[in-house]
Amino acid sequence: MTRITTRPCPFRTSEMLRQDGVHPVLARLYASRGLTDARELSTELAALIAPAGLLHIDAAAVFLADAIAANKKMVIVADYDCDGATACATAMRGLRSMGAIVDFIVPNRFEYGYGLTPEIVALTAREKSPDIIITVDNGIASIDGVAEANRRGIEVVVTDHHLPADTLPQARVIVNPNQPECGFPSKHLAGVGVVFYVLLALRAELRRRGVFDAASQPKLDSLLDLVALGTVADVVRLDPNNRILVAQGIKRMRAGRMHAGVAALFRVAGREARVASPFDLGFALGPRLNAAGRLDDMSLGIECLVTDDEGRAWAIAQQLNDINLRRREIEADMQDTALLHLDDFQPATSSTISVFDAGWHQGVIGIVASRLKEKFFRPTITFAPGQDGWIKGSGRSIPGFHLRDALDLVSKRAPSLIDKFGGHAMAAGLTIRADAFDAFSAAFEAVGQAWLSAAQLERVIETDGPLEDAYYTTGFIDLLDSQVWGQGFAPPVFCDEFRVVSQRILKERHLKLLLERNGQRYDAIWFGHTASLGERARVAFRLDANEYNGVTKVQLMVEHAEAA
């Protein structure tokens, strides 16, 4: 079941924002998203929260400044997703600009798993001989890996944003806004955001030591295209601080001031950087970088972001595009197989989904879980074969069901069922024995039955209510597109009643509509939907500017529709 609702909008807040000069529709949109002060809309770098609020960041800056002065060799250990790749490239570029001797290594997810493991430390020691390891977008859970580095005399700086466990690793310094006692107001920094802050603090420390002055210091704002890409792709909440980082990065992209690899990714994805949006970063550039980590080796993605050679960047972007096409093919096959497995699935009597297939690819199960979760609106875990009789699962959840806590409860109820697990509210991973799949599925379903009500298993499309006739214009669409929308600051979805003038099925997959309201007609499209609508419909939609034969017209992108 899916139903359309309207977000509550505090009238007084909306009116105050409007009186402060905010566009009347934007004032309503902002107020309904919890924004109360027009100053929170500032996207200038001067409005960023100061680095000093991050626990231990000054200690990290002093330690790294000393290491640069002593010519110590640093190696970055990165995660294998888009946030990890952009964090690694940001750290490489930033540290080198400040005189550091620095290299990187990224674990192959299929051989080494996630994070700074003892095996990765051994590999790094053997291949790179570092004095210092810096983790980016990982490390807060790497207790054994940090212990192994300490045993080998390698000092570790952890930069991460993930939630810590009860015990922290014994690293030289940990910078993570989510570690205990850290009072930093923006808890939603991505891994790349944390690294950017460490670089800001390090530059300030080097300035204090007289290495640079304000005129000669490296321009770290040149890294903001990478910071924006990683922040959006990691789907962290776009709080006011993250919106500044993303807005500044997108501003650079639109002005053509981006790194060769980012420009090449725009080109290979067929997107225009001059009108870059968070949607482009999340759905065009991010997936092409992520594909390398899913199917191949994320070193390729990092090299794309680190090189200044435009020809090399373009060649790598094409490789990444090919890998992404392969990923899509694998994903489509896996989805078809998953739907066969779920042929007898009864949504009315099931609160969760668990699916395993012996032919599935480990690197793609997370995307398939996400697709199934979207289709059935149930917490979903998909499993693929690991090694020696183990299977690896990747899960995605729905609002109100904390996936990591659910796995923790399964583990407590049946201690021998799960070998290891980790994650957060909306996504998690785990490893179990292949012969334990049925027992795990039953235990996971029992938690779902206990925790989820019928109302929570109903998909809700939150909208911003009706849009006044005067704003169905390309000019208003440009105004919306100039704002930074994303996770936790949802893009506007409007809702109104229309007469359905005509409807037809496009490419056997999509519903093409002509809708009428107050004498005005609008083209509309509902992707992935083929069932026809009645004569009148209540439609939840996004505004889109559709260009055809040199003419740009308003088009409605249907999110959901129901009989009026």
Determine the average pLDDT of the residues in 283-310: 94
Confidence of residue 216 (pLDDT cuts 50, 70, 90): very high
Determine the average pLDDT of the residues in 274-302: 94
Q: What is the pLDDT of residue 163?
A: 85
Q: Residue 354 is which amino acid?
A: S
Closest CA to 143 of 126, 166, 110, 111: 166
Q: What is the pLDDT of residue 416?
A: 92
CATH number, position 297: 3.90.1640.30
Confidence of residue 311 (pLDDT cuts 50, 70, 90): very high
Residue 389, token pair as written in the block: 């009789």
Q: Give, in order, the Cα–Cα distances in Å from 522 to each of 191, 294, 513, 516, 560.
A: 42, 40, 8, 6, 16
pTM attached to this predicted model: 0.92
Q: Residue 330 is which amino acid?
A: I
User: Among the listed ranges 107-111, 136-140, 388-392, which one has the minimum average pLDDT value?
Assistant: 107-111
Q: What is the pLDDT of residue 543?
A: 98
pLDDT at 246 over 90: yes
Rounded to the nearest 5 percent, the helix, strand and coil shares of the chain are 45, 20, 35
Q: What is the pLDDT of residue 333?
A: 97
CATH number, position 351: 3.10.310.30
Residue 536, token pair as written in the block: 């009148």
Asked if the structure places residue 333 within a domain, the reply is no
Asked if the structure places residue 504 within a domain, the reply is yes
Same domain, residue pair 233 and 100: yes
The neighbour count for residue 265, using CB atoms within 10 Å, is: 30
Provide the number of structural domains found in the chain.
3
Residue 510, token pair as written in the block: 């999509």
Among residues 404, 435, 457, the one where a domain terminates is 457
Same domain, residue pair 136 and 225: yes
Phi-psi region of 538 (alpha: psi -120 to 50; beta: other; left: phi over 0): beta
Asked if the structure places residue 170 within a domain, the reply is yes
Residue 481, token pair as written in the block: 């597109």
Same domain, residue pair 178 and 237: yes
Same domain, residue pair 412 and 545: no
Same domain, residue pair 270 and 376: no
Most distant CA pair in the chain: distance in Å? 75
pLDDT digits (tens, 9 = 90+) for 184-212: 999 999 999 999 999 999 999 999 999 99
Same domain, residue pair 225 and 350: no
The neighbour count for residue 151, using CB atoms within 10 Å, is: 10
Q: What is the pLDDT of residue 382?
A: 98
Among residues 427, 457, 487, the one where a domain terminates is 457
Asked if the structure places residue 192 within a domain, the reply is yes
Closest CA to 492 of 464, 527, 525: 464
Q: What is the pLDDT of residue 235?
A: 87
Helix or strand holding residue 512 (H, E): strand 510-517
Phi-psi region of 380 (alpha: psi -120 to 50; beta: other; left: phi over 0): beta
Residue carrying structure tokens 């959840």: 397
Same domain, residue pair 77 and 141: yes
Confidence of residue 424 (pLDDT cuts 50, 70, 90): confident
Q: What is the pLDDT of residue 553?
A: 94
**Is the separation of the CB atoms in 558 and 528 below 8 Å?**
no
Asked if the structure places residue 415 within a domain, the reply is yes
Same domain, residue pair 268 and 254: yes
Same domain, residue pair 203 and 311: yes
Same domain, residue pair 230 and 313: yes
Quote the domain boundaries for residue 354. Answer: 338-457
Confidence of residue 1 (pLDDT cuts 50, 70, 90): confident
Cβ contacts of 562 within 8 Å, gap of 6 or more: 2, 3, 4, 537, 538
Cβ contacts of 350 within 8 Å, gap of 6 or more: 378, 445, 448
The neighbour count for residue 348, using CB atoms within 10 Å, is: 7
Among residues 321, 354, 387, the one where a domain terminates is 321
How far, in Å, CA of 272 to CA of 53, rounded? 37
The neighbour count for residue 549, using CB atoms within 10 Å, is: 4
Asked if the structure places residue 328 within a domain, the reply is no
Asked if the structure places residue 330 within a domain, the reply is no
Confidence of residue 426 (pLDDT cuts 50, 70, 90): confident
% of residues, the chain, pLDDT over 70:
100
Asked if the structure places residue 44 within a domain, the reply is no
Q: How many CA atoms lie within 13 A of 455 on its CB side?
A: 1
Residue 540, token pair as written in the block: 């939840």
Same domain, residue pair 168 and 248: yes
Confidence of residue 213 (pLDDT cuts 50, 70, 90): very high
Same domain, residue pair 257 and 392: no
How far, in Å, CA of 78 to CA of 145, rounded? 14
Q: What is the pLDDT of residue 358?
A: 96
CATH number, position 507: 2.40.50.460
Q: What is the pLDDT of residue 296?
A: 83
Alpha helical stretches, state H, 107-166: 109-112, 118-128, 143-151
Q: Residue 542: beta bridge partners? A: 557
pLDDT at 170 over 80: yes
Q: What is the pLDDT of residue 548?
A: 86
Residue 94, token pair as written in the block: 């930033």
Residue 369, token pair as written in the block: 């879980």
Confidence of residue 259 (pLDDT cuts 50, 70, 90): very high
pLDDT at 502 over 90: yes
